[in-house]
Amino acid sequence: MGTTFDLGAISAAFSAAALDPTRWDAAMEVAEKATESAGALLFDLKGHFPRIPRSQSLEAAFERYVEDGWIHRDERYRLIPFLSRRGVTTDLDLFTVDDIAKLPYYQEFLSPFGLRWYAAVKVAAGDDFWCISLQRSIERGPFAPAELVELNELSRALGSSVAVARALGFARAEAGLEAFSASARAAIMVDRYGKVLLVNPAAEALLGPSLQVRGGRLVSWSKEATDALERSLRELLWVRTPSATMPPVALPRVEGRPLIAYPMRLGAVSPNALAPCQAVVVILDPDSDPQPPEAMLRSYFGLTAAEAGLARHISSGRKLQSIADELGISYETARKHLKAIFAKTRTHRQSELAAVLARLAVAPPR
Protein backbone atom coordinates (compact mmCIF):
# COMPACT_ATOMS: atom_id res chain seq x y z
CA MET A 1 0.00 0.00 0.00
CA GLY A 2 1.42 3.39 -0.99
CA THR A 3 1.60 6.35 1.31
CA THR A 4 -0.81 9.27 1.16
CA PHE A 5 1.23 11.84 3.06
CA ASP A 6 4.77 13.17 2.63
CA LEU A 7 5.88 12.28 6.14
CA GLY A 8 9.54 12.77 5.20
CA ALA A 9 8.89 16.44 4.51
CA ILE A 10 7.33 16.90 7.98
CA SER A 11 10.23 15.11 9.69
CA ALA A 12 12.75 17.24 7.80
CA ALA A 13 10.89 20.43 8.71
CA PHE A 14 10.82 19.44 12.40
CA SER A 15 14.54 18.64 12.36
CA ALA A 16 15.29 22.04 10.81
CA ALA A 17 13.10 23.83 13.38
CA ALA A 18 14.77 21.98 16.25
CA LEU A 19 18.08 23.56 15.19
CA ASP A 20 16.62 26.94 14.21
CA PRO A 21 13.65 27.81 16.47
CA THR A 22 12.51 30.63 14.17
CA ARG A 23 11.35 27.94 11.71
CA TRP A 24 8.62 26.31 13.81
CA ASP A 25 5.84 28.24 12.08
CA ALA A 26 7.32 27.16 8.74
CA ALA A 27 7.26 23.55 9.97
CA MET A 28 3.52 23.94 10.59
CA GLU A 29 3.09 25.16 7.01
CA VAL A 30 4.84 21.99 5.82
CA ALA A 31 2.65 19.80 8.05
CA GLU A 32 -0.49 21.47 6.71
CA LYS A 33 0.50 20.94 3.08
CA ALA A 34 1.93 17.44 3.52
CA THR A 35 -1.25 16.14 5.23
CA GLU A 36 -3.67 17.98 2.92
CA SER A 37 -5.11 19.83 5.91
CA ALA A 38 -6.66 23.27 6.32
CA GLY A 39 -4.15 24.23 9.00
CA ALA A 40 -1.66 22.91 11.55
CA LEU A 41 -0.67 23.92 15.09
CA LEU A 42 1.74 22.55 17.69
CA PHE A 43 -0.02 22.37 21.07
CA ASP A 44 1.48 22.02 24.52
CA LEU A 45 -0.84 19.47 26.13
CA LYS A 46 0.32 20.15 29.69
CA GLY A 47 -1.09 23.68 29.64
CA HIS A 48 -3.19 25.97 27.50
CA PHE A 49 -0.26 28.01 26.26
CA PRO A 50 -1.30 30.85 23.89
CA ARG A 51 2.00 31.34 22.02
CA ILE A 52 2.38 28.22 19.89
CA PRO A 53 3.68 27.49 16.38
CA ARG A 54 0.90 27.56 13.77
CA SER A 55 0.34 27.87 10.04
CA GLN A 56 -0.75 31.21 8.63
CA SER A 57 -4.12 29.91 7.45
CA LEU A 58 -5.25 29.52 11.08
CA GLU A 59 -4.21 32.97 12.30
CA ALA A 60 -7.73 34.41 12.44
CA ALA A 61 -9.19 31.28 14.00
CA PHE A 62 -6.44 31.11 16.60
CA GLU A 63 -6.94 34.74 17.53
CA ARG A 64 -10.63 34.03 18.19
CA TYR A 65 -9.68 30.80 20.01
CA VAL A 66 -7.61 32.77 22.54
CA GLU A 67 -9.55 36.02 22.83
CA ASP A 68 -12.99 34.39 23.18
CA GLY A 69 -11.76 31.89 25.77
CA TRP A 70 -12.15 28.74 23.68
CA ILE A 71 -8.57 27.91 24.66
CA HIS A 72 -9.98 27.03 28.10
CA ARG A 73 -13.13 25.32 26.75
CA ASP A 74 -11.58 23.18 24.04
CA GLU A 75 -13.57 19.92 23.88
CA ARG A 76 -10.59 18.24 22.22
CA TYR A 77 -8.54 18.29 25.42
CA ARG A 78 -10.82 15.44 26.47
CA LEU A 79 -9.10 13.35 23.80
CA ILE A 80 -5.71 13.45 25.54
CA PRO A 81 -6.06 9.94 27.10
CA PHE A 82 -6.67 8.48 23.61
CA LEU A 83 -3.70 10.42 22.22
CA SER A 84 -1.43 9.31 25.05
CA ARG A 85 -2.23 5.62 24.49
CA ARG A 86 -2.46 5.48 20.71
CA GLY A 87 -0.20 8.24 19.41
CA VAL A 88 -3.03 9.57 17.20
CA THR A 89 -6.61 10.57 17.93
CA THR A 90 -9.59 12.21 16.19
CA ASP A 91 -12.89 13.78 17.24
CA LEU A 92 -14.69 10.52 16.45
CA ASP A 93 -12.80 8.64 19.17
CA LEU A 94 -15.01 10.38 21.73
CA PHE A 95 -17.85 12.17 19.94
CA THR A 96 -20.53 11.01 17.53
CA VAL A 97 -21.51 13.05 14.49
CA ASP A 98 -24.68 14.02 16.38
CA ASP A 99 -22.56 15.20 19.35
CA ILE A 100 -20.46 17.37 17.06
CA ALA A 101 -23.61 18.89 15.57
CA LYS A 102 -24.68 20.07 19.03
CA LEU A 103 -21.49 21.05 20.85
CA PRO A 104 -20.86 24.85 20.92
CA TYR A 105 -17.12 24.35 20.37
CA TYR A 106 -17.77 22.91 16.92
CA GLN A 107 -20.79 24.96 15.94
CA GLU A 108 -20.05 28.37 17.46
CA PHE A 109 -16.28 28.42 17.15
CA LEU A 110 -15.12 26.10 14.33
CA SER A 111 -18.02 26.27 11.88
CA PRO A 112 -17.73 30.03 11.12
CA PHE A 113 -14.19 29.31 9.91
CA GLY A 114 -15.33 26.36 7.78
CA LEU A 115 -13.52 23.91 10.10
CA ARG A 116 -14.76 20.79 11.85
CA TRP A 117 -12.57 17.70 11.61
CA TYR A 118 -9.27 17.11 13.32
CA ALA A 119 -6.47 14.66 13.96
CA ALA A 120 -3.90 15.02 16.74
CA VAL A 121 -0.44 13.49 16.41
CA LYS A 122 1.46 12.86 19.63
CA VAL A 123 4.94 14.41 19.79
CA ALA A 124 6.59 13.42 23.05
CA ALA A 125 10.10 13.23 24.47
CA GLY A 126 10.86 12.85 28.17
CA ASP A 127 8.49 15.07 30.14
CA ASP A 128 7.44 17.06 27.07
CA PHE A 129 3.99 16.22 25.69
CA TRP A 130 2.98 18.08 22.55
CA CYS A 131 0.75 17.30 19.62
CA ILE A 132 0.42 18.41 16.03
CA SER A 133 -3.17 19.55 15.63
CA LEU A 134 -4.24 19.02 12.01
CA GLN A 135 -7.43 20.80 11.02
CA ARG A 136 -9.73 19.80 8.17
CA SER A 137 -12.65 21.61 6.62
CA ILE A 138 -16.31 20.65 6.87
CA GLU A 139 -16.31 19.75 3.17
CA ARG A 140 -13.16 17.64 3.28
CA GLY A 141 -14.45 15.38 6.03
CA PRO A 142 -12.63 13.43 8.75
CA PHE A 143 -9.29 11.66 8.41
CA ALA A 144 -9.59 8.15 7.00
CA PRO A 145 -8.33 5.08 8.93
CA ALA A 146 -5.44 4.58 6.47
CA GLU A 147 -4.38 8.19 6.98
CA LEU A 148 -4.36 7.71 10.74
CA VAL A 149 -2.05 4.71 10.39
CA GLU A 150 0.44 6.94 8.58
CA LEU A 151 0.13 9.68 11.17
CA ASN A 152 0.88 7.14 13.88
CA GLU A 153 4.19 6.42 12.13
CA LEU A 154 4.89 10.15 12.12
CA SER A 155 4.30 10.32 15.88
CA ARG A 156 7.07 7.81 16.53
CA ALA A 157 9.47 9.68 14.25
CA LEU A 158 9.15 13.19 15.71
CA GLY A 159 10.08 12.66 19.36
CA SER A 160 13.79 13.09 18.66
CA SER A 161 13.23 16.53 17.14
CA VAL A 162 11.44 17.73 20.27
CA ALA A 163 14.25 16.32 22.43
CA VAL A 164 16.84 18.21 20.38
CA ALA A 165 14.79 21.43 20.52
CA ARG A 166 14.52 21.17 24.30
CA ALA A 167 18.24 20.46 24.76
CA LEU A 168 19.26 23.39 22.58
CA GLY A 169 16.69 25.65 24.26
CA PHE A 170 18.11 24.79 27.67
CA ALA A 171 21.62 25.52 26.41
CA ARG A 172 20.44 28.95 25.25
CA ALA A 173 18.96 29.60 28.68
CA GLU A 174 22.23 28.67 30.36
CA ALA A 175 24.15 30.95 27.99
CA GLY A 176 21.72 33.78 28.69
CA LEU A 177 22.15 33.28 32.43
CA GLU A 178 25.94 33.44 32.04
CA ALA A 179 25.56 36.76 30.22
CA PHE A 180 23.64 38.18 33.19
CA SER A 181 26.27 36.79 35.55
CA ALA A 182 29.05 38.46 33.56
CA SER A 183 27.36 41.81 34.11
CA ALA A 184 26.82 41.07 37.83
CA ARG A 185 23.03 41.11 37.44
CA ALA A 186 20.81 38.84 39.50
CA ALA A 187 18.70 36.76 37.11
CA ILE A 188 16.25 33.88 37.49
CA MET A 189 15.08 31.93 34.42
CA VAL A 190 11.50 30.60 34.46
CA ASP A 191 9.56 28.20 32.27
CA ARG A 192 6.19 28.66 30.53
CA TYR A 193 4.38 28.05 33.81
CA GLY A 194 6.44 30.58 35.77
CA LYS A 195 8.41 27.88 37.59
CA VAL A 196 12.09 28.50 38.30
CA LEU A 197 14.54 26.75 35.96
CA LEU A 198 17.90 28.38 36.66
CA VAL A 199 19.27 30.84 39.21
CA ASN A 200 22.59 32.64 38.77
CA PRO A 201 25.00 33.31 41.68
CA ALA A 202 24.03 36.99 41.97
CA ALA A 203 20.38 35.97 42.43
CA GLU A 204 21.27 33.21 44.88
CA ALA A 205 22.99 35.84 47.02
CA LEU A 206 19.67 37.70 47.34
CA LEU A 207 17.72 34.65 48.48
CA GLY A 208 16.99 34.30 52.16
CA PRO A 209 14.19 34.99 54.65
CA SER A 210 12.70 37.73 52.46
CA LEU A 211 12.88 35.98 49.08
CA GLN A 212 12.91 32.24 48.42
CA VAL A 213 12.40 29.63 45.74
CA ARG A 214 9.64 27.47 47.20
CA GLY A 215 7.80 24.72 45.36
CA GLY A 216 9.65 25.74 42.21
CA ARG A 217 8.34 29.32 42.38
CA LEU A 218 9.88 32.64 43.37
CA VAL A 219 8.18 33.66 46.64
CA SER A 220 8.43 36.85 48.70
CA TRP A 221 7.77 36.92 52.43
CA SER A 222 5.00 39.36 51.48
CA LYS A 223 1.97 37.56 50.07
CA GLU A 224 0.90 40.74 48.26
CA ALA A 225 4.29 40.97 46.53
CA THR A 226 4.21 37.28 45.61
CA ASP A 227 0.73 37.68 44.13
CA ALA A 228 1.83 40.76 42.17
CA LEU A 229 4.82 38.90 40.74
CA GLU A 230 2.64 35.92 39.80
CA ARG A 231 0.17 38.22 38.01
CA SER A 232 3.00 39.90 36.15
CA LEU A 233 4.50 36.58 35.04
CA ARG A 234 1.13 35.23 34.00
CA GLU A 235 0.47 38.25 31.81
CA LEU A 236 3.96 38.03 30.34
CA LEU A 237 3.65 34.32 29.59
CA TRP A 238 -0.03 33.84 28.83
CA VAL A 239 -1.18 36.93 26.99
CA ARG A 240 -0.98 36.11 23.27
CA THR A 241 1.04 39.21 22.37
CA PRO A 242 2.57 40.46 25.62
CA SER A 243 5.05 43.26 26.09
CA ALA A 244 8.71 42.25 26.15
CA THR A 245 9.14 43.78 29.62
CA MET A 246 6.60 44.10 32.42
CA PRO A 247 6.49 46.96 34.95
CA PRO A 248 8.78 46.44 37.96
CA VAL A 249 7.46 44.58 41.01
CA ALA A 250 8.63 45.63 44.49
CA LEU A 251 9.65 42.71 46.71
CA PRO A 252 9.80 43.93 50.35
CA ARG A 253 12.55 42.70 52.63
CA VAL A 254 12.61 42.16 56.36
CA GLU A 255 15.52 44.61 56.47
CA GLY A 256 16.52 47.18 53.88
CA ARG A 257 14.73 48.68 50.95
CA PRO A 258 12.61 46.40 48.71
CA LEU A 259 14.23 44.48 45.91
CA ILE A 260 12.97 45.37 42.43
CA ALA A 261 11.96 42.53 40.08
CA TYR A 262 11.73 43.05 36.31
CA PRO A 263 9.98 40.12 34.52
CA MET A 264 10.85 40.07 30.81
CA ARG A 265 11.01 37.89 27.74
CA LEU A 266 14.29 37.41 25.90
CA GLY A 267 13.95 36.68 22.20
CA ALA A 268 17.38 35.06 21.93
CA VAL A 269 16.59 32.66 24.78
CA SER A 270 12.91 31.89 24.17
CA PRO A 271 12.21 32.41 20.44
CA ASN A 272 9.37 29.87 20.45
CA ALA A 273 7.05 27.94 22.71
CA LEU A 274 9.22 24.81 22.78
CA ALA A 275 12.10 26.52 24.59
CA PRO A 276 12.22 25.39 28.25
CA CYS A 277 12.97 28.95 29.38
CA GLN A 278 10.22 31.41 28.49
CA ALA A 279 11.12 34.42 30.63
CA VAL A 280 13.66 35.85 33.05
CA VAL A 281 13.19 37.82 36.25
CA VAL A 282 16.00 40.35 36.73
CA ILE A 283 16.30 41.46 40.35
CA LEU A 284 17.91 44.73 41.39
CA ASP A 285 19.07 45.55 44.91
CA PRO A 286 18.84 49.32 45.53
CA ASP A 287 20.96 48.94 48.69
CA SER A 288 23.96 47.60 46.78
CA ASP A 289 26.64 49.86 45.39
CA PRO A 290 25.59 50.78 41.84
CA GLN A 291 28.63 49.69 39.87
CA PRO A 292 28.19 48.94 36.17
CA PRO A 293 30.47 46.18 34.83
CA GLU A 294 33.77 47.24 33.29
CA ALA A 295 32.94 45.49 30.02
CA MET A 296 29.85 47.68 29.66
CA LEU A 297 31.83 50.86 30.30
CA ARG A 298 34.52 49.91 27.80
CA SER A 299 31.92 49.03 25.18
CA TYR A 300 29.58 52.00 25.73
CA PHE A 301 32.16 54.76 26.17
CA GLY A 302 35.39 53.37 24.75
CA LEU A 303 37.15 53.51 28.12
CA THR A 304 40.46 51.75 28.64
CA ALA A 305 40.67 48.98 31.24
CA ALA A 306 42.28 51.38 33.74
CA GLU A 307 39.69 54.07 33.08
CA ALA A 308 36.79 51.62 33.39
CA GLY A 309 38.15 50.31 36.70
CA LEU A 310 38.36 53.85 38.06
CA ALA A 311 34.89 54.74 36.74
CA ARG A 312 33.28 51.80 38.51
CA HIS A 313 34.66 53.01 41.82
CA ILE A 314 33.59 56.59 41.13
CA SER A 315 30.01 55.36 40.64
CA SER A 316 29.93 54.61 44.38
CA GLY A 317 30.37 58.33 45.11
CA ARG A 318 33.69 57.97 46.98
CA LYS A 319 36.44 60.59 46.88
CA LEU A 320 39.12 60.33 44.22
CA GLN A 321 42.02 60.08 46.71
CA SER A 322 40.37 57.11 48.45
CA ILE A 323 39.81 55.36 45.13
CA ALA A 324 43.40 56.00 44.03
CA ASP A 325 44.70 54.50 47.28
CA GLU A 326 42.55 51.39 46.85
CA LEU A 327 43.65 50.94 43.24
CA GLY A 328 47.31 51.44 44.16
CA ILE A 329 47.83 54.39 41.82
CA SER A 330 48.91 57.96 42.45
CA TYR A 331 46.41 60.76 42.84
CA GLU A 332 47.81 62.42 39.71
CA THR A 333 47.34 59.24 37.66
CA ALA A 334 43.77 58.99 38.94
CA ARG A 335 43.15 62.62 37.93
CA LYS A 336 44.54 61.91 34.45
CA HIS A 337 42.22 58.91 34.03
CA LEU A 338 39.27 60.91 35.35
CA LYS A 339 39.89 63.70 32.83
CA ALA A 340 39.81 61.13 30.01
CA ILE A 341 36.63 59.59 31.46
CA PHE A 342 34.92 63.00 31.57
CA ALA A 343 35.76 63.54 27.89
CA LYS A 344 34.53 60.13 26.77
CA THR A 345 31.32 60.19 28.80
CA ARG A 346 30.61 63.88 28.05
CA THR A 347 30.38 64.73 31.73
CA HIS A 348 32.13 67.54 33.64
CA ARG A 349 31.93 66.75 37.35
CA GLN A 350 32.40 63.63 39.43
CA SER A 351 28.83 63.81 40.75
CA GLU A 352 27.46 64.05 37.19
CA LEU A 353 29.54 61.05 36.14
CA ALA A 354 28.37 59.06 39.18
CA ALA A 355 24.74 59.74 38.25
CA VAL A 356 25.26 58.54 34.67
CA LEU A 357 27.03 55.37 35.80
CA ALA A 358 24.41 54.66 38.47
CA ARG A 359 21.67 54.74 35.83
CA LEU A 360 23.63 52.24 33.75
CA ALA A 361 24.07 50.00 36.76
CA VAL A 362 20.39 49.78 37.71
CA ALA A 363 18.67 49.92 34.31
CA PRO A 364 17.35 46.46 33.33
CA PRO A 365 18.74 45.04 30.08
CA ARG A 366 16.41 45.24 27.06
CATH code matching the domain that covers 7-164, chosen among 3.40.1030.10, 3.40.390.10, 3.40.50.620, 3.30.450.80: 3.30.450.80
Distance, CA of 118 to chain centre: 28
What pTM does this model have? 0.67
- What does the pLDDT look like over 241-266, one tens digit per residue? 555 667 888 999 988 888 888 888 76
Flag whether pLDDT at 161 surpasses 80: no
Q: In the chain, where does the domain assigned CATH 3.30.450.80 lie? A: 7-164
Q: In the chain, where does the domain assigned CATH 1.10.10.10 lie? A: 294-362
- What does the pLDDT look like over 67-96, one tens digit per residue? 999 998 999 999 999 999 999 999 999 999
Q: If you classify domain 183-284 with CATH, what class do you get?
A: alpha beta
User: Would you identify the CATH topology of the domain 294-362?
Assistant: Arc Repressor Mutant, subunit A (1.10.10)
Flag whether pLDDT at 342 surpasses 50: yes
